[in-house]
A and B are shown apart, each in its own frame.
Chain A
Amino acid sequence: MALPFPYIFISCPCSDVSNRELTSKRSSRDVELDQEIQDDEETFDPRHPRSAFSLFPPEHLLYCEECHEIKCPRCVTEEINATYCPDCLFESPKVMVRGEGNRCPRNCFHCPICTSQMITASVGDPKNGPFILNCNYCMWSTLDVGIKFDKPTGIRGQLDEIANGGEQKAATVHSPYSYQADYARKSSLSRPPLSPADRDEIADPKEDSVSATPLDPTARFNALKTFYKEQITESSATDATFSTSALDMAYSSPSSLQRIMNLYTNKEGATIRARQKLTVMREARSASEGFALAASRDSGVESQSPRIDYDETVTASQRAFQYPSFIGNPAALKVSELRPMPTLMRTKRSKRCATCKHILARPELKISSARYRIKLIALNYVPFVTIKPLPIAGGLPPPGPDGGDVILTPGKPVQFIMTLRNPLFDDVSVSLGTPSVTPGRHGHRVTILCPQFRLGKNSDAWDDALSNNNQPDRGTGNIAGGEQVAGKLYDQGRNWASVVLEIIPASIVRQQSEELDEDEDVIEIPIRVRLEWTVTDDEAGMERRKRDTRLDEGDDIDDGKRELNYWMVVGIGRVAC
């Protein structure tokens, strides 16, 4: 049971395999397979593993007014309108987000142990620090990994430069985007005379010197990248036909200039040059090129990881929380190697119908506002369904305010009242269809006493009161007035109607040792809902006239008739066993 009983799910028609088969061209074998599935899905089985992907709570669904279809998250395309940090509600411009690794660039961090939000606290002087990040849930703090900050602000920038243990990161690499970019922008004069990073750089070009400390994955990656670039330039420097520098479209670089000159001046020379191209890319050899031997007894690399206790090891979920590797440390083995993670940014997205590109939802651009400018939710078009047990003697007690478990006795018929409320401003004729026996291992018998009826329009409540006398006979003869009579509604109101649903739960027979599958005892009833209505209001009429004037387009004239078919799944309760 995912939600308290009773609950409603709607299956989006887009995921119907039969619908999809028409649009995609597949090989004949697949079509056969589709037909097989189609046969299975004559009646929708809510317990089929695929159903979990097509069933949505009604509130999650949108409605496209152009296609007259329900739209689920699978059949909309999304566009990002704004990116912001959910913790500090700071909006980042789109171009910055990538460089920041899709993470909050300021002070928001999450605990690597329990993933809750961290706060900046001072250890020592409240104003001058030093400061740490502290998790108030599990009491983990950056002191555990030996990190302290000088300032209470700009923590992300500070943390990017500190490795666990408090030392400065070897290569001062924050992300692949800022790699050495600092040096490109600054002249050498603006740099401090001999910063540790600088010294590293000087030491770097020394070939074949195995550096004492093994590079972290990011530094190794960058080393490899540099190495490959070098190799490509080297091996194709003499290649007259093409040079890699041309890849950058930089005509001002000497090598590509030479290439162009070659093309026009001496053809023979070029062919000779092509033949002379003897260099082959070699492979990386030293650690500075990104090569590393695996830790083992024989290789002589004594980075053989020290013995650690089981308690100190990282769980899979903690490791998964450390991605990406240039910010966190997904290769961590020990808890002390974990790093606090900056908050993942979030986006505001507008949604479009995947078939007609009509906008279905567009949020307000202001981050602090939760409102939508456009939002076509399906519940404004589809009847809202509620279910409660029939209040008769010996029936089920009405559910408490928070739902709760509903247990049904096998073999004993139970009645429920299903009420459909019409949100549209037009009368809707509804027909409900359900298999008499629910699919699955245990067939529960289901009867809807009145499967076809009409729902009144959702007019103003005052309208209803005023016009009540004028049309007292709407649906008379169809209302059973609180009785359960087959073919008659249980009750009806201005824009709603209720029908009686009768269920005879099947008993679940099992061996003592046998364990029930998850949700095997839950009664879920698939109901095929078919809605028909005619749009009458002015807006649609205008639209229709507009369409009429454009007859040459050849599409059929919109006569205002709407039809909607979908499967709905009603979770009623559990069978006692």
Chain B
Amino acid sequence: MTTTVASAIRPGLRERQQSGSPHTPSRYISSVQSSPGSSFFRAEEDPIIIELDARELNAGFQGESGPQCTIPFTPRNSRRIGDYREYLPDYKRRRAELQTRCKEYELWRNDLSDVNLGLLEDKLERAVREVYNKHLLVDAGAARLVLVLPSLVPHPILSTILTLLFERWKYSSVTLLPAPAMTIAAAGLRSGLVVDLGWEETVITAIYEYREVQVRRSTRAMKALTLKVGEVLGIVRNEQDVQFRDTLLLDFDFVEDFIDRAGACHAMLVDVDEDLVTMVEAMQVQQQADSKSRSENRAKIVIDWPTGTSSRPIAIPRHALHLACVDAIVGKKNETRPDDHEQSVGQLLYSTLRSLSSDVRAICMPRIVFSGRGARVAGLSQRILDTTESIVSQYGWSAVRGNRLPVKRAGLAELAQARAAPADARHNLNSPGANDFVEERLAKQKSKDVDLSVPVALRQVDTLGPWAGASLVASLKAKSFVEIDREKFLSHGLSGAQREFETNVVSQRTGTVRSGERASWTLAGWG
């Protein structure tokens, strides 16, 4: 363990070991210049990273690969102190509608009309206190705080969160980082398309060079899926024997857990190839009895459904789950919805890509990153991509639909043929300037990337998640756009933020710390 101690006291040691370029390992300067006491202090100064969304809070130390803990916002966590009734054997769970129960599991909703900000403050305070006292085991407020938030947070909520953090604890500053960009960073990319299958909304964010260029959202997300699967399970329960029907529990925790577990064992979505396999099997009539029982197994998933005291094996038809999934999230290929808010994810992905400019689209298409709870459902992301792909192959990147389209298009093509020149030829017409900075740069970039260009097709990239991304970015000492100073926030509140945040992008990108203190602060995307 001695080595561990050494590296904990001298963070410089481990940092230098990892940077690849060879240079002489140097003495650790600060320990020479200051008393050893300060290096203890230094070790504690590592910022705390808290990722917060409407359902849960993840917290941990900068530079670590994952959060120390995750705390969900549940009714259990918002009971009075000393109230352990949920653990009692004869505890009766309320049989409330899932829809109404959902509210107790959310810290906030995007519709603020019935969100109690005071309650939000209470819940968050308790959660953060628990994080520090139980999991992080450091004094709260001593170190800087990095807060990873979704890219859209209603202002009253952001204000409440920041006010609570600054007033309850003595943070000197709070840094905000957007979750989608962090997801991209944790995938090792610079640009890409983040499909966040979140709780209330599915948010698709196109990121180009770490900046959000396009955001689209839809309410077809995990909340819809949870309600849908809850309905399916309710139907299954009602088909059971009357004797034990009422002992079967059907509450929010169970439904959510079921989605996770069934998702992990590929039960939520019937794979296309699996369908084929069963069809082939059905055609081969040789081992009839055997294949029949097997296909029955395929058609149903047997789970241990918890009852008040024990559990009971119950079969759930996979087909119903599949339909629920497709209906709630993926959507059909040629679905038309009157409302933009509830576009299916497949459609949404397509329309997001379509609205991007073509070069960004080319970069984003092979770099699609799925995140959020829905990404854990096996096969769901692939299904979404398949749907999008089939839309693309049918319509291309044109927004025009209709019966007369092919006819008109053929006519237009004839017209255009006369003047059209090959697209690439026109681009290369530029005579290279003698000392053109941009051209030179482009050429160099091109030569570097020439063998690495990925084919433009929908491709899915895995990520470590927004928390790990923030941990990476923070440990590289990159400076965030949004750094909120304690004094400035407490004296002006959110209204003190500057609207314009045009800063020198180049210096930001390389992650250098700019000299001097920032005179004004901004909320960037949150403003």
Interface positions of A (Cβ within 8 A of B) = 1-3, 9, 15, 17, 23-27, 29-30, 33, 37, 49-57, 60, 73-74, 77-80, 83, 94-102, 105, 157, 175-185, 217-218, 220-222, 224-230, 232-237, 239, 242, 244-245, 247-255, 275, 278-285, 289-299, 305, 307-316, 320, 323-326, 330, 333-334, 344-345, 347, 349, 515, 517-518
Contacts and interface: CB of A to CB of B under 8 A. Distances in A.
A54 B23 CA distance: 57
Given A78-B139, A95-B5, A251-B29, A26 B80 contact: no
A53 B126 contact: yes
Given A308-B264, A344-B134, A325 B26 contact: no
10 contacts: A30-B156, A79-B139, A178-B3, A181-B14, A282-B448, A305-B378, A308-B264, A310-B267, A315-B261, A347-B133
A308 B19 contact: no
A100 B61 CA distance: 13
A179 B61 CA distance: 15
A53 B65 contact: no
B188 A283 contact: yes
Interface stretch (B82-90, B237-245, B334-342, B398-406): B82-90
A37 B122 CA distance: 14
A236 B129 CA distance: 40
A176 B261 contact: no
A515 B80 contact: no
B445 A99 contact: no
A310 B188 contact: no
Nearest to B512: A242
Contacts of A33: 117
Contact of B118 (A17, A251, A296): A17
Interface string B10-23: 00111111111101
B24 interface: yes
Contact of B264 (A26, A180, A298, A313): A313
Contact of B20 (A218, A233, A292): A233
A26 B117 CA distance: 13
Contacts of A285: 452
A330 B66 contact: yes
A105 B1 contact: yes
B27 to A, nearest CB: 7
Given A78-B140, A228-B472, A254-B23, A326 B14 contact: no
A77 B140 contact: yes
A313 B476 CA distance: 36
A98 B265 contact: no
Given A225-B18, A249-B29, A294-B381, A323 B68 contact: yes
Contacts of B17: 179-181, 183-184
Given A251-B29, A515-B94, 9 more contacts: A53-B125, A95-B43, A102-B135, A180-B14, A228-B476, A233-B21, A242-B510, A283-B189, A344-B134
B440 A2 contact: no
Contacts of A293: 459-462
A56 B413 CA distance: 76
B475 interface: yes
Contacts of A9: 80
Given A217-B65, A226-B19, A310 B125 contact: no
A294 B371 CA distance: 11
A310 B301 contact: yes
Contacts of A305: 264, 266, 378
B78 to A, nearest CB: 6
B95 A310 contact: no
Contacts of B460: 293-294, 296, 299
A561 B244 CA distance: 65
Given A1-B85, A179-B14, A310 B262 contact: yes
A99 B4 contact: yes
B502 interface: no
Given A37-B118, A299-B459, A323-B69, A176 B64 contact: yes
Given A96-B4, A293-B460, A294-B460, A244 B265 contact: no
Contacts of B125: 53, 74
A416 B274 CA distance: 69
Given A224-B188, A233-B21, A323-B70, A24 B163 contact: yes
A2 B19 contact: no
Interface of B: 1, 3-9, 12-21, 23-24, 26-30, 40, 43, 60-61, 63-70, 72, 78-85, 94-96, 116-119, 122-123, 125-126, 129, 132-141, 156, 159-160, 163, 167-169, 186-191, 253, 256-257, 260-262, 264-267, 273, 301-304, 370, 378, 381-382, 385, 437, 440-441, 444-445, 448-449, 452, 459-462, 464, 468, 471-472, 475-477, 490-491, 493-495, 507, 509-513
B8 A177 contact: yes
Nearest to B514: A242
Contact of A57 (B28, B30, B67, B82): B82
Given A24-B167, A323-B70, A347-B137, A229 B476 contact: yes
Nearest to B141: A77
B29 to A, nearest CB: 5
Given A50-B116, A226-B20, A185 B3 contact: yes
A526 to B, nearest CB: 14
Contacts of A99: 1, 4-5, 7-8
A24 B165 CA distance: 12
Nearest to B303: A310
A138 to B, nearest CB: 15
A518 B94 contact: yes
A344 B29 CA distance: 34
Nearest to A320: B70
Nearest to A287: B188
A50 B462 contact: no
B482 to A, nearest CB: 19
Given A248-B16, A291-B461, A83 B137 contact: yes
A334 to B, nearest CB: 8
A308 B265 contact: yes
Contacts of A289: 188
A29 B154 CA distance: 14
A180 B4 contact: no
Nearest to B477: A247
B263 to A, nearest CB: 9
Contacts of A324: 60, 64-69
Contact of A275 (B301, B437, B449): B437
A83 B462 CA distance: 37
Contacts of A60: 81-82
A267 B95 CA distance: 76
B261 A244 contact: no
Contact of A282 (B6, B66, B449, B507): B449
Nearest to B273: A297
Nearest to B66: A325
B38 to A, nearest CB: 13
State the 8 A-B residue pairs at the shortest beta-carbon distance, nearest first. A284-B188, A325-B66, A221-B65, A2-B83, A53-B122, A230-B20, A99-B4, A294-B460
A500 B421 CA distance: 98
B163 A26 contact: yes
Contact of B18 (A77, A179, A279): A179
Given A232-B511, A254-B23, A102 B137 contact: yes
B56 to A, nearest CB: 9
Nearest to B301: A310
Contacts of A182: 3
Contacts of B265: 307-310, 312-313
A314 B265 CA distance: 10
A184 B13 contact: yes
Contacts of B65: 176, 217-218, 220-222, 324-326
A225 B468 CA distance: 10
Contacts of B123: 53
A244 B20 contact: no
Contacts of A237: 21
Contacts of B441: 278
Contacts of B136: 102
